[in-house]
Amino acid sequence: MIVCLRKLCGLLAIAMLAACGGGSSSTSTTPSGSTTTDQAATTVTTGSFSLSSTAGAEGAAMAADYSCDGTGSSPPLAWSNAPAGTKEFAVLMKTLPGDGTTKYNWVLYGIPVSTTSLARNVFGAGTLGVGSDGPVQGYQPPCSQGTGSKVYTFTVYALSASPTLSVAASKVDGATLLAAIAPVSLGSASLNLTYSRTAASPGSGTNCTYIRGSLQASTTGSASASCDGTYAYLSSGAPPSHALMNGITATNLQVPVEQNFYGANGWKIPLSPAIAASTTTAVDGPIGVAINGVPIFNPCKQGGCQNGDTKALGELDVCNGHAGRADDYHYHAAPVCMMAGKSAGYWDTHPIGWALDGFAIFGYNNADGTVATRDGVCGGNTSAVSNAPAGYSYHVTDASPYVLSCFRGTPSPDLAGQGAKYSPIRQPPVTPFADSAMTLTTDASDGYQVLQFTAASAFTTTETGSDSYANPAGTYRVRYKRVTGSDLVSLLALNANKGKSACWSFQFTSGAGATTQPAVSYCR
């Protein structure tokens, strides 16, 4: 009973100090010089646990770039003097809207103890939970509108151990994380920044509202949108939640992992699309983004349509997507598994995605329910649309090129600069070869993703590009998992991984579990 009371007092102290303002940040929540046998306050702390940001001092106004009126980037944070005994950190960003209900914009945990700062637009520093809007698994830029400034509180928590969570990361919200870290919190430090929005703010524009509103229809993943007046930034990273890779009959053994399409690296969609004097070709790479944050590519293999149609060659799964050379998941045709979340008629009047020229991509029909007509220019039409800018629209079809043959408007810089948005973590492991019975599942015993397939013929794989492994016909598994904790710290300390922030471990086995090539870790 005494221990329980002591723990309760420690947690009350944490809550009270975390709520206090003053100075540039809050101070350590464990009194300097104190000791106790309780897990919530087991150490002696000296100095002051503090949090700061170049985005602003305590009480300052936050730049629009970190809101939905800019790129929607997460702000940089730095902390110092963490309590002794800290094993890892967690970060929460919250606000109190007018209704008094706590709202979370950023939920991040599993941050290695060696980390003392988060860069602007940080990627891979920990595990992302979901914010209150969407919900989106990532930073949700402030978008509250109304009279006066809103206060946003950033809090870093020093933890004596990893929190025990009974739900997947896609279900960990702010309240869930806060409850889970309470028993292992050694201290916390907070910083309050403000932001004010009006109806005239860029993120409140009509076309931005169209894009933001369209994202709410996704049931297979989530994205967020911020608008700076010129572009909407569609921000996402996690692969979609629908089945992936099932049914592929020609594989290159790439796998879907998280991508950095967050904040300023989100996909730029022009906010004022207009029919251009000349068209722009779309023969390679991304042409738009689906409302679940997954890029949509043209139908061609890398290098152009002379190399073949990915769908016709059997390289796409039952959802019309696959993993590319950056181990990125993307669609090459109608995102049918995403579309299954709504009735077919819904997509006649609501976008399934947005082309890189700013025009919307709809389902198979026009807004009036008739089969979409296709002009001889880019395969779209000028019919009236709903919930999207007027002037032109694209529609999916089951005939190549499936979405569009060219851009009728002027594409954003992301078309030309698409390569910079991707960061491959490994050499292409194999030239595409025939396979069957491909599935992607999760091994419940250890959390590894398992890509299993059967090859009717022998094939050769590589890990580095300079080695090779011969594989006879048979069933195989590629097992992979995001690296966290001390293992991540060790990997990032290697010279080869300098400047990188996220790593994945890979294992290669036969269907019976025998190792077929050495395990390896890759980082980006």
Question: Model confidence over 258-305: pLDDT tens digits?
Answer: 999 999 999 999 999 999 999 999 878 999 999 999 999 999 887 777
Q: Is the peptide bond before 335 cis (omega within 30 degrees of 0)?
A: no
Q: Do residues 59 and 190 share a domain?
A: yes
Please tell me what DSSP assigns to residue 68: T
pLDDT of residue 41: 29
What distance in Å separates the CA atoms of residue 373 and residue 380, rounded to the nearest whole number?
A: 7
User: Of 386, 420, 454, which marks where a domain is finished?
Assistant: 420
Q: Do residues 380 and 269 share a domain?
A: yes
Which residues have C-beta within 8 Å of that of residue 196, sequence separation ≥ 6? 61, 148, 149, 150
User: Of 171, 195, 219, which marks where a domain is finished?
Assistant: 195
pLDDT of residue 268: 98
State the burial class of residue 12 (Cβ atoms within 10 Å of its Cβ: 0-12, 13-18, 19+): exposed
Q: Which residue has the tokens 């209900």?
A: 101
What distance in Å separates the CA atoms of residue 425 and residue 136, rounded to the nearest whole number?
A: 25
pLDDT of residue 504: 98
Q: Do residues 169 and 287 share a domain?
A: no
Question: Residue 223: which of 299, 130, 314 has the closest Cα?
Answer: 130
The amino acid at residue 35 is: T
Is 32 within a domain?
yes
Would you call 107 helix, strand, or coil by DSSP?
strand
Report the CATH number at residue 66.
3.90.280.10
CA quadruple 202, 207, 211, 217: dihedral sign:
positive
Question: Residue 85: which of 37, 26, 149 has the closest Cα?
Answer: 37
Q: Do residues 262 and 183 share a domain?
A: no
Is 82 within a domain?
yes
Q: Do residues 188 and 247 share a domain?
A: no
Q: Do residues 274 and 409 share a domain?
A: yes
What distance in Å separates the CA atoms of residue 429 and residue 460, rounded to the nearest whole number?
A: 9
CA 277 to chain centre: 35
Q: Do residues 161 and 268 share a domain?
A: no
Is 20 within a domain?
yes
Is 200 within a domain?
no
What distance in Å separates the CA atoms of residue 238 and residue 3, rounded to the nearest whole number?
A: 41
Q: Do residues 213 and 151 share a domain?
A: no
Is 427 within a domain?
no
Is 227 within a domain?
yes
- What six digits make up the tokens of 160? 């004596």
pLDDT of residue 148: 79
Phi, psi (deg, nearest 5) at residue 349: -120, 0
* Residue 511 and residue 487 in contact, taking contact as beta carbons nearer than 8 Å: no
What distance in Å separates the CA atoms of residue 312 and residue 317, rounded to the nearest whole number?
A: 11
Is 489 within a domain?
yes
The amino acid at residue 194 is: T
Would you call 7 helix, strand, or coil by DSSP?
helix
pLDDT of residue 261: 96
Domain span including residue 222: 205-420
Q: In the chain, how many domains are there?
A: 3
> How, if at all, do strands 394-395 and 360-362 pair?
parallel
Q: Which helix (H) or strand (E) holds 4?
A: helix 2-19
What distance in Å separates the CA atoms of residue 298 and residue 286, rounded to the nearest whole number?
A: 6
Q: Do residues 281 and 132 share a domain?
A: no
Question: Model confidence over 159-180: pLDDT tens digits?
Answer: 999 999 989 888 999 999 999 9
Q: Do residues 164 and 258 share a domain?
A: no
Would you call 491 helix, strand, or coil by DSSP?
helix
pLDDT of residue 191: 97
Q: Do residues 179 and 116 share a domain?
A: yes
Q: Do residues 415 and 283 share a domain?
A: yes
Q: What is the pTM of this model?
A: 0.89
Is 428 within a domain?
no
The residue ranges of the chain whose pLDDT is under 70 are 1-47
Give start and end residues of each alpha helix (H) in 36-123. Answer: none
* Residue 318 and residue 438 in contact, taking contact as beta carbons nearer than 8 Å: no
pLDDT of residue 17: 33
pLDDT of residue 498: 94
User: Of 371, 398, 420, which marks where a domain is finished?
Assistant: 420
* Residue 343 and residue 274 in contact, taking contact as beta carbons nearer than 8 Å: no
pLDDT of residue 146: 73
What distance in Å separates the CA atoms of residue 482 and residue 74, rounded to the nearest whole number?
A: 22
pLDDT of residue 302: 77
* Residue 320 and residue 333 in contact, taking contact as beta carbons nearer than 8 Å: yes
